[in-house]
Structure 1
Amino acid sequence: MLTDAELTVLGLVVERPRHGYELDEVISERGMRDWTALGFSSIYYVLGKLRDRGLVAEVEGERAHPKAKKTFTATEAGRKACADAAEAAIAELRPVHPPVLVGLASSPVVPPDRLAAALARRAEAVEERLAEVRRAAAAQAGAPPFVRAIFDYSLMQLEAEAQWLAGRTI
């Protein structure tokens, strides 16, 4: 079983051999930090765990980036583990625990004017996030279909929430 962080890093290395700095750049460009808890400091840690499990291997040769220390490539076992984990992540419906639902469950204790203000702040934040994701998606116009699908999914979720919030007072 791969964690979300392991699957994310492994998937990027399966695409092509990469070093930690390039992984960080791709994660940023594709907006992956919005749905993964994967900071720069943990990339090499995750790569080390994947290497220790035989899912990636270090590539000998010159550095692909001036700051890069090691470049990693996926092993056959890594490709299979990535495919299996990606298929499961796509197919399985897993529970999510959005804090907004916890807040709504306790919202009767919030004074109505403060509740309305909180909903308005959330609606504004959702609209700002929508604009950010739209800009990031536009910057990835030539990206492969799977990257476009990630942006489309994120946009649809945000648009659905914006629609739900529109005029909501509870």
Structure 2
Amino acid sequence: MPPDLTPAELTLLGLLVEKPRHGYELDEVITARGMREWTEIGFSSIYYLLGKLRNRGLVEETDARVNRPATARKVYAATADGRRACAEASERAIAEPRPVFPPLLVGLANQPAIPPERLRAALAHRAAALEERHSEVRRAADAQPHAPGFVRAIFEYSLAQLAAEQSWLTAYRASLTDTLGDT
């Protein structure tokens, strides 16, 4: 049984299973693939997470270094244990649905506390934000026409989730107009 990996650890480990990389390259891939939309990895946490993975024997520093003026960057690669742990944890992540805890549901549970006009404004704001996020993910996907199939699948899943929420939100806003009227 592999060690429990946080989503951020599993994401970095998976990128290192693809190929050895240094921290800045990991950040570039995370940005290019829009991964910050679905996992919490800040640039400042990459080396911290790499250290944790290294201490657990899942990644190691390789002999290769990326040389740039006045700096040499350590390159990390997945170990055999890291590859095994990544595969097992990824299989579980795909196979086992897990609950999510979106703050939207907390807000909806407390909807009676919100005056109708402010509720409508909040929902309109959410609709605009969803549209913008959908456009951003679409642009990121379109910028990588030759991405591997698994990367395209991530973009497609993200776009489908956004479209589903947009559809729900449209219907919900219409039902509020029926319920609350045009106040």
Both proteins in one fold, TM over 0.5: yes
Question: Equivalent residue of 2:61, what SS?
Answer: strand
1:42 correspondence with 2:45: yes
Query: Which stretches of structure 1, 4 residues or longer, exceed 6 Å deviation after superposition?
Result: none
- State the shift of 1:168 in Å: 3.0
Q: 2:90 maps to what in 1? A: 86
The 3 A distance-change label for structure 1 pair 147 and 111 is same
Q: 1:56 maps to what in 2? A: 59
Aligned length, in residue pairs: 170
CA contact (8 A) 2:65 2:73 kept: no
Larger C-alpha radius of gyration, 1 or 2? 2
Please, which of 116, 138, 141 is the counterpart of residue 137 of structure 1? Answer: 141
CA contact (8 A) 2:65 2:74 kept: no
Q: Identity of counterpart residues, as a percentage?
A: 65
CA–CA separation in structure 2 for the residues paired with 1:82 and 1:64: 29
What amino acid is aligned across from residue 136 of structure 1 in structure 2?
A: A
CA–CA separation in structure 1 for the residues paired with 2:7 and 2:117: 39
**Structure with more strand by fraction:** 2
Query: Pairwise CA RMSD of aligned residues?
Result: 1.3
Q: Which runs of 5+ in 2 are unaligned?
A: 177-183
Q: 1:14 maps to what in 2? A: 17
What amino acid is aligned across from residue 90 of structure 2 in structure 1?
A: A
- State the shift of 1:65 in Å: 5.5
Please, which of 147, 151, 162 is the counterpart of residue 151 of structure 2? Answer: 147
Q: 2:132 maps to what in 1? A: 128
